[in-house]
Amino acid sequence: MYREKVKAQKSSSPYEEAIRIVRVASKYTSDVYIEKGKKCANAKSVLGIVALMLEGGDVVTVSAQGADAGIALKTVCQTIGEALHLRNEYSVKR
């Protein structure tokens, strides 16, 4: 399993950004999740991501497990960084 932590900054449109994240995550066979506190959402679910109610300053953990987990995690984190204007504070674990 791969994991990375990122810190959220302000977001303009959480719905559009959630759709972008889902589009990228859905390209991979691996399971990809975004965690905020005790809440966890499938990165392939728009409603799940929106339900996390991400706000500026939130620290989220993105994790991936499966055959293409490494590239899935990297790509999803890059997309989250673009979509949510996240500043990367990586803590990679395997």
pLDDT digits (tens, 9 = 90+) for 73-86: 989 888 877 555 55
Q: What is the pTM of this model?
A: 0.81
- Distance separating alpha carbons of residues 4 and 47, to the nearest angstrom: 22
| Domain 2-88, CATH class in plain words | alpha beta
pLDDT score of 27 more than 60: yes
pLDDT digits (tens, 9 = 90+) for 1-10: 899 887 665 6
Lowest mean pLDDT among 10-24, 40-54, 66-80: 10-24
Task: Read off the tokens for 21.
Answer: 């994240």
pLDDT score of 48 more than 50: yes
Contact between 88 and 36 under an 8 Å Cβ cutoff? The reply is no
- Distance separating alpha carbons of residues 21 and 76, to the nearest angstrom: 7
Domain boundaries, the chain: 2-88
pLDDT score of 91 more than 80: no
